[in-house]
């Protein structure tokens, strides 16, 4: 093989790498609030904002698997979706809700219950 061929292949690889980097740099970030807006219809008006906010936070951890979310899902079921994105344990989710929203929960706690507790805590002012 001639040195010109190696220079050409090297330039081609460099050009393709630069094109991929440019494309990735200009990719739009995901608007998780919009992705999870569907969850609002499953809650009463006073709980809709909280449900969407919590679901958006979960979406950042779960990825697009969050589109499966329904009020009846438990934390254990939600945590199972994370294996596609990166692993999140039920205990980690429970800790997240305890720290962020001051809501005690476990793997069997339903999403609806979490939202109700968060709204209740917001009304109390805690």
pLDDT tens per residue, range 91-104: 989 999 999 999 99
3-state secondary structure of 74: strand
Nearest of 124, 80, 79, 86 to residue 105 by alpha carbon:
79
d(CA 75, CA 108): 6
Express as a percent the part of the chain with pLDDT over 70.
92
pLDDT tens per residue, range 26-72: 667 888 999 999 999 999 999 999 999 999 999 988 888 999 999 99
CB 113 within 8 A of CB 82: no
Verdict on whether the full-model pTM lies above 0.85: no
Give the model's pLDDT for residue 126: 56
CB 93 within 8 A of CB 75: yes
């Amino acid at each position: 093989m001639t040195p010109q061929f190696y220079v050409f292949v090297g330039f081609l690889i460099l050009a393709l790498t630069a094109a991929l980097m440019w494309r990735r740099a200009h990719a739009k970030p995901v608007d998780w609030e919009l992705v999870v807006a569907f969850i609002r219809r499953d809650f009463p008006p006073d709980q809709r904002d909280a449900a969407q906010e919590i679901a958006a936070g979960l979406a950042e951890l779960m990825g697009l698997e969050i589109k499966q979310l329904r009020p009846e899902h438990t934390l254990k079921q939600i945590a199972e979706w994370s294996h596609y994105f990166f692993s999140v344990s039920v205990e980690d989710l429970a800790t997240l809700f305890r720290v962020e929203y001051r809501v005690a929960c476990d793997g069997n706690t339903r999403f609806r219950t979490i939202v109700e507790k968060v709204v209740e805590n917001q009304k109390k002012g805690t």
